[in-house]
Each structure stands twice: as C-alpha cells, then as structure tokens.
A = this chain, B = another copy of it.
Amino acid sequence: MAAKTNPGRFFEDYAVGQVIDHAVPRTVQTGERALYHMLYPARHALYSSDLFAQACGLPASPLDDMIAFHVVFGKTVPDISLNAVANLGYAEGRWLSPVWPGDTLRSVSEVIGVKENSNGKTGVVWVRTKGVNQHGAVVLEYVRWVMVRKRDAASDAPETVVPELSQVIPAEQLVIPKGLDFTAYDFTLAGEPHRWGDYEVGEQIDHVDGVTVEEAEHMMATRLWQNTAKVHFDTTARPDGSRLIYGGHVISMARALSFNGLANAQMVVGLNGGAHANPCLAGDTVRAWSEVLDKAETGAPGVGALRLRLVATKGGAPFSLKGADGKYLPDVLLDLDYWALVPL
C-alpha cells in the first residue's frame, strides 16, 4: 500500500527527452471570462465584446490570452514546480490559436535541459510546455526553467544539457489568428486613438493606475487556474506567515493596467522572456509601465506588431528598473518582454 499523495518531482526525476502529460484537463467557458474581468481591470475591447471581435474578423471574442496561459501553466505545477525553489525564466512563448468558450485544454511538457548546480543540492530544469485543445491543436507553447531541489545531495549529476533559446521571437514567426483584420478597427470603441505608427521604439509609457491587492483576490485567481502551489494559499508554508502571490497574477494585473496607454495592443502573441523580479504580497499596490522595444509588420490586413517591455512595480518612480549593480530594484515585481498585435 503505497502513499497516495503526490510528493512532487525532484531534480533526479527529470531527464532530457522525457515527456510529461499533465493532469486535469479543463473546459473553459464564458464564466472564466467574467471572472477575468472581475479579478483584473481588463478592458481590451477584443476580449470584452463579441461584436468588436467580429468586426476584427474573428468569429467571436476569444478568452483572454492570459487565461490560456494561466490554465496551461497551472496544469504543469504539480509536475514541474511543486518542489521548485524558483521560477527562473520564460522564453519562446507563442500563442498559436485563440481559445474559445467551450474549449477543453490540457498541457504536455518535454524536458529540454537539465543542469545541476555547483552546490549539489539543486538543479535547473528546462521544459517546453504546450497547451492542447480538444482538436489536438496546440494553442500555446513556451519554455520555462525552474530551480528544483535534489532528493538526495549525494546522487550523481546528470550530463548537463542547456538548450539554445531565442532571446526574441522573430516577428515572422509570430502566428496571427486566422481571419484577423484591423482595417475596419474602431478606435473610439477600443478606447484610445493610438495606432501602431504612433508608437516609437524607445518610447516609455506610465500606465498611471494602481491596484492594491488583497489575499482573497490572488488566492481566488490562482485557484481558478488550478494552480496548487502551497506558498500561495497556506500561511503556515512560509516562515514569515505570508502568502506569496502567484507571479501570473502580477502579469495579468500589469497587462490589464497597461490598457491605459496601450488600449490597442489587443492580442498577445509572443512571450520573449520574463522575470519575477521580487515577490508580491497582499497589501502591495501594483502599478505598471511599458517600453516599446521593437516594431514589426505582419502579413495580416491592418495588423502591426509591437514588442513591449511590461514592468510591474509596487512603488518607486516609473521607468526605473535596475540598480547600478545590474540587479532589479526592490520595488520591481515583473519584467516581461512580449509581442502584441496593434492596428496599423
């Protein structure tokens, strides 16, 4: 009679080439959309209105791209990050197909790198995760790497494999949702007049608004994505009695706040990288600023792409990111690098 509960995987349990089918598929519906609007100040029109989405060539309003991300990510937690010490980074993230109400998503990860740390107690594991819908289509893929505890410090180190990852997804590899057409885009209903051509590389935007976060909110958000990491829910799981806010909660909050200045950065199609710079706790007031890192055209009618840095903070002046030592300032929560689609 074996123990029935899941102890999570340790560093020794991962090997390059291993494929992990994550559990608990999830059918998402319009209820999840309503909840997203309740949990975040999300106002991008394409995810709020079926009519607006239809005027952009889509059959209806898809679920927010971050709902897709959170659902796919959440399923990986019991297999990838239950014993993780830290979530180290993201790369090569692409949204390949919108997620519609009624879709059923599951997640699959392949281990693409392992590297034991010199302390012999932990190692880094790289996985490429795919979110798959009921038709077998991949809706989202991304790489993330985490630091994981070894079960036994005495066990042998595996052969080091560090995957080569793109720093930035080339614009021509971005996948534009089928049918998307911004030529009849309604800037009034979208909320701002700024077109792709109005943004310049290097431009910085202070999104101005702030939201003070509460324990009940971040726990509900994290649970909604079936993310079960103890540190988000259990005040007895950390020595200081605090609950660590799921990094994805900060991503969604910052992305929603970025509406004010980037209302037309409608769809997220690429995740070039990201760092959770400092922990976020209840009581923090989250603000955001953005920087335009690059611009690209796409083949789709009226559709341009902006590469954006999205920074979430819990204080400090906008546009400050790192100290003289090259480290993130203590008030910086998130530094995300993504591609969004914007009307030309």
Chain A residues with CB under 8 Å of chain B are: 1-2, 4-6, 21, 23-27, 29-35, 37-43, 45, 48-52, 61, 78, 102, 104, 106, 134, 188-192, 194, 198, 200, 203, 205-212, 214-217, 219-221, 223-224, 226, 228, 230, 233-237, 243, 260-263, 285
Contact = CB atoms under 8 A, between A and B. Distances in A.
A38 B71 CA distance: 12
Q: Say how many copies of this protein the assembly contains.
A: 3
Contacts of A262: 4
Given A191-B78, A228-B209, A234-B212, A27 B43 contact: no
A145 B200 CA distance: 39
A188 B107 CA distance: 12
Contacts of A214: 214-216, 219
A37 B226 contact: yes
Contact of A285 (B134, B212, B236): B236
Contacts of A233: 41, 209-212
Contact of A45 (B25, B41, B48): B25
Contacts of A30: 29-31
Contact of A41 (B2, B29, B216, B223): B223
A214 to B, nearest CB: 4
B32 A34 contact: yes
Contacts of A192: 4, 6, 23
A236 B209 contact: no
B211 A234 contact: yes
Nearest to A25: B49
A234 B260 CA distance: 15
